[in-house]
Amino acid sequence: MKVRNNKLGPDEGIELQMTPMIDIVFQLLVFFIMTFKIVAMEGDFNIKMPLAALSDGLPDEDDIPPMTVKLSADAAGNLGSIRMNDIAYPTFQKLRERIISVIGTERGPNSTQATAEVELDCDFNLKYTHVIEAVTHVSGYVDPSTKQIVKLVEKIKFKPQPPRAG
């Protein structure tokens, strides 16, 4: 059996291998970069907080009444009638004109347009294309003279459907 001499001489030293260490560091760096998850920002929610007690309890006269748009359907799911606050409109264009007359032309953070809200009450069997058309006409339009988008109502909600019997 041969015995090795493990004693190092004066000129012999331990060399550190830098290449494998650098390789491991880069692998760890790539691993952490690839597994890093960027959290998406939360959306801007319109939250209605309760107001402080008003002195007289009366609503502000600048507030517009809630607008409820009722879309009824026939048996085939086609659009039957368009009603806003119990007034019938023959087309979505006429409905848009009425909404423009209600909210006015002023735009901005404290305008009537910023506080306006529309609730869509749609029949259960109404085709979704009519619902999208209603949302499109209520939310805004493109001004033909300036080719700019004019926002009307940004707060649109849907009335919950009652449970179906059957």
- What is the pLDDT tens value at each position of the chain, 166 positions in all? 566 666 656 667 778 889 999 999 999 999 999 998 877 666 655 666 665 555 455 545 555 667 888 988 888 888 888 888 888 899 888 888 888 888 877 777 767 777 788 888 888 888 888 888 888 888 888 888 888 888 888 888 888 877 766 5
pTM of the full structure: 0.56
Q: Dihedral sign for Cα 73, 126, 69, 91, please.
A: negative
> φ, ψ for residue 120 (rounded to 5)?
-95, 125
In this structure, what DSSP letter does residue 14 have? P
Q: How is domain 67-158 classified at the architecture level of CATH? A: 2-Layer Sandwich (3.30)
Separation between Cα atoms, residue 70 and residue 82, nearest integer Å: 6
Helices 128-139 and 92-103: crossing angle, nearest 10°?
30
